[in-house]
């Protein structure tokens, strides 16, 4: 008997042992006798863990205990029925649900057809969360092109590996991370569906789970080391939630902090929460931010002087996952070293890089200069046709500083990403090579590509129109700039990566920047 939040007023029952469906909107042709799911205890446990994590931000109990379902109000519960019985419905779907049936009050279930899903545990869990989402009034997250033509009923997401992502209300079979999303649903490009807000609305009647940790320095609870360590578990429940903790060390020591999102296996398998850690000193000044780009967990290993420190845990976006759905539970462990650390002069890592490009006939030539106090681990050249979506072009050796190749393309953008021994990745300026060759030297540029004060400062030799877009290509700001220096407020942007496009009658330039 598994329960994710026993005290919750609402219930999502995961039913694996068969059920007779009668007296519901499904029963136009009589009772539906559903066999069990034909799954092992291990498979059932993983499916439960995946779905419980999807619904962890909400004040609802995901359970396998039928007594919890029976005790809940009739219009505050739903049964997700995992069954091999599907012939009554057909063979073209992994599951089915009636939108909004959570509040019908007549025990209308949703169905997950385990045999049609090949008894694949990951896929069954994805369909279970998806169909339960329908009962809570969610429609499909669909896919549209740049001019709002519908290209698919389902959004299949993007990316690969640990941070490969798709929306729960799309199709996430082939992605590690699946989350709730704020995007266009199947009824139109302009019909933005904020999944989490709909689930937590007053109609469903249960809302978000109560915050479990302070969100300010004043409310941060001081943690006590026991045997040189302490451990906390927490939950990020919404887009603005940030859990802040406090600790004190008496001597200069090495401090190791590790924050892991809930997962069902190694390498952040099935994790929803991409963790970002920020460390602050006693003056509440930011010391450093830790958010590795290619994994969901985050860690810190540093030497700290005596004093009081704060650290925050929050959900963040990455190359593929929007921060909207970066929600869920986590565990954080903080350890002190066994011995005090003698203070020695500290060397601040330095890094600079500039990419240049030219064209000779159909040969594109790229070269770059670089200064780094850290050892370079890898170099990756990327190319884009429109300056927003990049693909891998080449991985030059760590000592290589030039690259050229033949291409018939007449208008390409290039950038270089370098990873250093500390694990940090640095991305160069963007080079635009057009048919006329060489690129226009009279182009606007940002004064700083990492923005921490809500103001974007840029210089331009000419007048340009500009559009700021997010990683999904959605327009966030637009306007025009004149010659000289321009400062613009970007306070409405959430933390994350963005693109700024500059256009006039002759040119199109793109730069990327990160707001922290």
Q: What is the CATH number of the domain that holds 293?
A: 2.60.120.380
This prediction's pTM: 0.67
Q: What's 195's DSSP letter?
A: H
Question: Residue 508: which CATH number?
Answer: 2.60.40.3080
Distances (CA, A) of 466 to 15, 459, 474: 53, 13, 13
Residues 433 and 447 in one domain: no
pLDDT higher than threshold 80 for residue 387: no
Q: Which residues have C-beta within 8 Å of that of residue 57, sequence separation ≥ 6?
A: 196, 208, 209, 235, 236, 237, 238, 327, 328
**In a domain? residue 386:** yes
3-class secondary structure, 327: coil
Q: Which residues have C-beta within 8 Å of that of residue 95, sequence separation ≥ 6?
A: 110, 111, 112, 113, 127, 128, 130, 131
Residues 20 and 136 in one domain: yes
**In a domain? residue 125:** yes
pLDDT higher than threshold 80 for residue 227: yes
Q: Is 99 left (phi over 0), alpha (psi -120 to 50) or beta?
A: beta
pLDDT higher than threshold 70 for residue 388: no
Dihedral sign, Cα of residue 67, residue 70, residue 71, residue 75 = positive
Residue 490: give the domain boundaries. Answer: 442-516
Q: Quote the pLDDT of residue 350.
A: 67
Domain end among 439, 456, 482: 439
Greatest alpha-carbon span in the chain: 80
**In a domain? residue 88:** yes
Angle at 299 between CA 297 and CA 302, to 5 degrees: 175
From CA 495, how far away is CA 317, in angstroms rounded?
A: 8
Q: What's 211's DSSP letter?
A: P
Token digits for 354? Answer: 């500039």
- Residue 239: CB atoms within 10 A of its CB come to 19
Domain end among 280, 315, 340: 340
Q: Quote the pLDDT of residue 438.
A: 40
From CA 44, how far away is CA 242, in angstroms rounded?
A: 32
Residues 116 and 132 in one domain: yes
From CA 144, how far away is CA 183, in angstroms rounded?
A: 10
pLDDT, tens only, 37-86: 999 999 999 999 999 999 999 999 999 999 999 999 999 999 999 999 99
From CA 104, how far away is CA 204, in angstroms rounded?
A: 10
**In a domain? residue 212:** no
Q: Are 72 and 102 in contact (CB under 8 A)?
A: no
Q: What is the mean pLDDT of residues 265-293?
A: 93
Percentage of the chain lying above the pLDDT 90 cut = 59
**In a domain? residue 205:** no
Token digits for 368? Answer: 């770059």
3-class secondary structure, 74: helix
Domain end among 279, 314, 340: 340
3-class secondary structure, 498: strand
Question: Residue 430: which CATH number?
Answer: 2.60.40.10
- Residue 224: CB atoms within 10 A of its CB come to 8
Q: How many domains does the chain have?
A: 4
Q: How many residues does the chain have?
A: 516
**In a domain? residue 428:** yes
Residues 136 and 64 in one domain: yes
**In a domain? residue 216:** no
Residues 147 and 239 in one domain: no
Which residue, among 313, 322, 324, 167, has the nearest Cα to 236 in the 3D structure?
A: 313
pLDDT, tens only, 499-509: 788 877 667 67
pLDDT, tens only, 233-252: 999 998 889 999 999 999 99
Residue 199 has, within 13 A of its CA and on its CB side, a CA count of 29
Q: Which residues have C-beta within 8 Å of that of residue 70, sequence separation ≥ 6?
A: none
**What does residue 423 show for φ and ψ, rounded to 5 degrees?**
95, -5
Residues 259 and 325 in one domain: yes
3-state secondary structure 418-461: EEECCCCEEECCCEEEECCCCCCCCCCEECCCEECCCEEEEEEC
Dihedral sign, Cα of residue 208, residue 209, residue 210, residue 211 = negative
DSSP letter string over 131-189?
A: HHHHHTT---B-EE-TT--EEESS---B--GGG-EEETTS--TT-SEEE--EEEBTT-T
pLDDT higher than threshold 80 for residue 437: no
Q: Are 256 and 137 in contact (CB under 8 A)?
A: no
Q: Quote the pLDDT of residue 354.
A: 83
């Amino acid at each position: 008997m598994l329960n994710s939040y026993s005290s919750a007023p609402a219930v999502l029952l995961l039913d694996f042992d068969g059920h007779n469906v009668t007296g519901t909107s499904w029963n136009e042709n009589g009772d539906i006798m559903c066999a069990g799911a034909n799954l092992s205890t291990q498979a059932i446990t993983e499916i439960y863990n995946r779905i419980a994590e999807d619904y962890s931000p909400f004040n609802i109990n995901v359970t396998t205990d039928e007594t919890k379902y029976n005790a809940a109000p009739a219009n505050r519960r739903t049964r997700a029925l995992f069954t091999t019985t599907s012939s009554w419905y057909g063979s073209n779907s992994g599951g089915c649900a009636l939108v909004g049936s959570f509040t019908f009050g007549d025990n209308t279930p949703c169905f997950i057809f385990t045999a049609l899903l090949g008894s694949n545990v990951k896929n069954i869990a994805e369909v279970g969360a998806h169909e339960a989402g329908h009962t809570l009034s969610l429609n499909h997250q669909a896919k549209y092109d740049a001019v709002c033509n519908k290209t698919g009923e389902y959004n299949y997401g993007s990316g690969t590996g640990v941070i490969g992502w798709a929306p729960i209300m799309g199709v996430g079979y082939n992605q590690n991370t699946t989350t709730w999303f704020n995007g266009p649903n199947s009824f139109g490009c302009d019909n933005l569906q904020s999944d989490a807000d709909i689930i937590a609305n007053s109609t469903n009647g249960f809302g978000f789970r109560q915050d479990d940790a302070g969100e300010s320095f004043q409310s941060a609870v001081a943690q006590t080391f026991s045997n040189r360590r302490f451990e906390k578990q927490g939950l990020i429940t919404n887009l603005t939630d940030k859990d802040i903790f406090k600790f004190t060390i008496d001597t200069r020591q090495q401090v190791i902090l590790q924050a892991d999102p809930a997962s069902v296996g190694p390498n952040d398998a099935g994790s929803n929460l991409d963790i970002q850690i920020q460390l602050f000193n006693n003056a509440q000044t930011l010391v450093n931010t830790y958010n590795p780009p290619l994994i969901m967990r985050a860690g810190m290993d540093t030497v700290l002087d005596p004093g009081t420190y704060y650290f925050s845990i929050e959900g963040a976006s990455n190359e593929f996952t929007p921060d909207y759905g970066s929600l869920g539970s986590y565990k954080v462990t903080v350890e002190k070293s066994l011995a005090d650390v003698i203070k020695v002069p500290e060397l601040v890592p330095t890094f600079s890089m500039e990419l240049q490009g030219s064209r000779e006939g159909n040969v594109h030539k790229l070269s770059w200069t670089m200064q780094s106090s850290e050892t370079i681990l890898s170099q990756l050249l990327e190319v884009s046709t429109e300056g927003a979506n990049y693909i891998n072009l080449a991985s030059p050796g760590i000592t290589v500083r030039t690259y050229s190749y033949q291409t018939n393309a007449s208008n390409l953008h290039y950038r270089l990403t370098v990873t250093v021994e500390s694990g940090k990745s640095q991305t160069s300026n963007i080079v635009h090579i057009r048919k006329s060759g060489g690129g226009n030297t009279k182009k606007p540029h940002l004064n700083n590509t990492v923005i921490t004060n809500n103001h974007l400062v840029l210089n331009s030799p000419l007048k340009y129109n500009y559009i700021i877009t997010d990683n999904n290509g959605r327009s966030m700001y637009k306007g025009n700039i004149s010659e000289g220096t321009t400062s613009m407020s970007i306070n409405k942007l959430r933390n994350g990566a963005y693109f700024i496009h500059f256009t006039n009658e002759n040119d199109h330039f793109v730069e990327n920047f990160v707001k922290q």
